[in-house]
Amino acid sequence: MKKVLIALAVGFFTVSASYAQTNNQVNTEQQTLKRERATPEQRALRQTKMMSKSLDLTAEQEAQLQTLNLKRLNEMQGLRGKFNSTDGSQNNGFRKEAKVLRDNYETQLKSILTTEQFTKYQTQRKEMREHGSPKMRERNS
């Protein structure tokens, strides 16, 4: 009797663990598809709302940030189109140009935000990088 109960328990845990992994993979794929389908305008709006909420922006700052985020996302989309290669031979050029865009974005962002808000933004960005994948952490180091 004990052997049967143990076998059932092991079977139950195996099935539930494999179901959880499958379900998680499906959710991740759905999230990726949602992100890919979002237009630059939608992504800029979502990013602006998140930043506005976390940094306590004024209406004027929010409007300026919306414009800046949209500009950056459109530039990045153009950059991705320019360097769209499957063999990875142009990754270095893409990274260099993306860094220039990111630096310009941060310079303009600094002029929109107060010193305290910009410091908080940098702290949040650093935390997000630390919680990212190991590959991203290695690239950002």
pTM above 0.85, yes or no: no
Whether residue 50 is found in the same domain as residue 114: yes
pLDDT at 2: 79
Same domain, 110 and 94: yes
Residue 19 and residue 69 share a domain? no
Say if residues 75 and 101 touch (Cβ distance below 8 Å). Answer: yes
Residues 52 and 119 in one domain: yes
Same domain, 89 and 117: yes
> At CA 97, angle to CA 29 and CA 31, rounded to 5?
10
CB 70 within 8 A of CB 44: yes
Is the per-residue pLDDT at 141 higher than 60?
Answer: no
The whole domain housing 80 covers 40-140
The tally of domains found in the chain comes to 2
- 88, 19: one domain: no
pLDDT averaged over the chain?
83
For residues 106 and 123, state if they share a domain.
Answer: yes
